[in-house]
Amino acid sequence: MPDTTKLPIVYVRGFAGDRAGIDNAVQDPFYGFNEGSTHVRVGPEDSPSFHQFESPLLRLHLDEGYQILVEGSQEAYLDTHDHIEQKSLWVARFYDVSASTWSGVPREFRMEDAAQDLLRLIRRLKERTGAPRVHLVAHSMGGLVCRCLIQKILPDEGEDPADHVAKLFTYGTPHGGITFDAGFGVLERVRDTVGINGADVFGPRRMYEYLTPTAEQSEDGPPPGWRARDMPSGSGDFPVRRVFCLVGTNPTDYEVAHGLSAATVGARSDGLVQVENALVPGAHRAFVHRSHSGRYGLVNSEEGYQNLRRFLFGDLHITAELVGYDLPPDDGRTTWQAEVKLSVRGLPIVLHEQMAAHWCPIRLPAAHENKADSTPVLLATTFLTSHAPRPAGSQTLRHVLHVRILSFRERDGFLPLTDHVEQSADFADSVVIDVRTRPATPAVWATWNSTIPGTIRNHEPEGPPLGDEDPDSGEWVAHVPFPATATPILGDRASIRLSVLPWE
């Protein structure tokens, strides 16, 4: 029986800009997905440390046995081979027809045409490989090309997007468009009116056109309340749980690489796409301190690759949520935030981090608006692979969730410093989560680091695992109470709700 997780993977690149940018883009045989990196920010003792990341293209070739199949061109290979390996990597070269470096008249780029070209490639791959679907991996605007295919092109043809696409992973895609902190909206209006180099594809009216089925469009444009980043969730729509959004939180390195000031887009961004615009509500997501592109970019990062690999090929989906908390009453002047980091044993990077220093902490509702009983706060979501390496003698997969709770008080819009201690958390601890994947039912242990004597690496879970609180639901669920040190802040009912689901 074929391995249905090892489907063909199609890479879809981002915005190239004007004709010169397009001509430059098409010279790359893999549209940039072959670019790796040889830098990390900081190593031991705050010194630079060399780390070589080969590229997402090559790493899937090495780690998962994927093949890069080219004989003169992808098209030539598809034309001359009837039976092609399902575990293969492909690039949607939709910009080729818009380049002036080939013979013929360049075609003006249109999002709908790029999505149609992508569909033709998918159909050929399904025919030649026998795969039921493909995985789409997209950077920046490439994610919008994929969504145009999923939300407009296929519905217009009366087809179910899930019959063609298995999963969609996006690096820094402006799902909600691109907006600017500077200019008071003038920059967006000029862009959307003039359409300089086709950049109006990131404005609401043009996004409405290519993300909405033709039969549902209004001549008046987007209706009130329409948001580009929302994906429809009705019957026949592509399941949003099959989408993963990797969100960058480092604008500075994009400024260095491209000269675009973080002041233009805003600090809460990857340098080009604001954090909230890089998210599809309801989709899986991870925040990483990387920029939109460049040598410290999302695509050529270990963080991006590890999230991609686990989303495509993981066995288990694990979610951690803060529930049952009850913040201390106050006069409305106290702001509460949570910071989280997710580390997985065996990796030199963190898979997910939301930090105040990166402009993306998790805001906790104040006491007067607290809806903890009805609205869990998502801390992290990740995927584990049962074949991941583990230390000799260990039977579990381990990840560690670092949690910090912070508060600060404002008075008349200012932060008084008399009782303020900068960079200090009101609560800080880490929960060490061990998962045994065999037999079929997962076994999970969770231990707060503050209760572990010695080092985490020497810790082995003891005693029975946590019990599944609802065995008939098909989802393993358990609550991990906070240590007593958190009670004065979060209340005595606060816990981390862990849920584990099989992931195909």
Q: Which residues of 263-276 are buried (b: 16+ CB within 10 A; e: fewer)?
A: ebbbeebbbbbbbe
CA distance linking residue 23 with residue 311, whole number of Å: 33
Structure tokens at 169: 């992973």
pLDDT at 265: 82
CA distance linking residue 307 with residue 350, whole number of Å: 10
Amino acid at 7: L
pLDDT at 367: 55
Structure tokens at 309: 């690999």
- 504 and 7 in contact (C-beta within 8 Å)? no
Burial class (CB in 10 A: 0-12, 13-18, 19+), 181: middle
pLDDT at 248: 97
Sequence-separated (6 or more) residues with CB below 8 Å from residue 6: 64, 65, 66, 86, 87, 313
Structure tokens at 257: 């690489």
CA distance linking residue 371 with residue 456, whole number of Å: 34
pLDDT at 291: 94
Q: Which CATH architecture has domain 9-311?
A: 3-Layer(aba) Sandwich (3.40)
Q: What is the pLDDT along the chain (504 residues), one digit of tens a residue?
A: 445 669 999 999 999 988 999 999 999 999 999 999 887 655 556 676 778 899 999 999 999 999 999 999 999 999 999 899 999 999 999 999 999 998 778 999 999 999 999 999 999 999 999 999 999 999 999 999 999 999 999 999 999 999 999 999 999 999 999 988 765 567 767 776 767 778 889 999 999 999 999 999 999 999 999 999 999 988 789 999 999 999 999 998 876 556 555 667 888 999 999 999 999 999 999 999 999 998 889 999 999 999 999 999 998 999 999 999 999 887 677 889 999 999 999 898 999 999 999 999 999 986 555 554 557 999 999 998 877 777 877 788 899 999 999 988 776 666 666 666 766 899 999 999 999 876 667 889 999 999 999 999 899 998 999 999 988 888 899 999 999 999 999 999 999 999 999 887
Structure tokens at 352: 């997910």
Long-range pairs of 235-242 with CB within 8 A, sequence gap ≥ 24: 236/155, 236/160, 237/151, 237/161, 238/150, 238/151, 238/161, 238/162, 238/165, 238/168, 239/162, 240/280, 240/281, 240/282, 240/283, 241/282, 241/283, 241/284, 242/162, 242/165, 242/166, 242/167, 242/168
Domain ranges of the chain: 9-311, 319-502
> What angle (nearest 5°) sits at the alpha carbon of residue 143, between those of residues 137 and 149?
100
CA distance linking residue 190 with residue 177, whole number of Å: 15
Q: Are strands 362-364 and 334-344 parallel, antiparallel or unpaired?
A: antiparallel
Amino acid at 407: S
pLDDT at 372: 47
Q: Which parts of 39-87 are beta strand (E)?
A: 67-68
Burial class (CB in 10 A: 0-12, 13-18, 19+), 58: middle
Helix (H, G, I), strand (E, B) or coil at 501: strand
Structure tokens at 263: 């002041």
In what helix (H) or strand (E) does residue 246 lie, and over which residues does it extend? strand 243-248
What is the DSSP annotation of 274-318? BGGGG--TTSEEEEES-BSSSTTBSTTSHHHHHHHHHHHH-SEEE
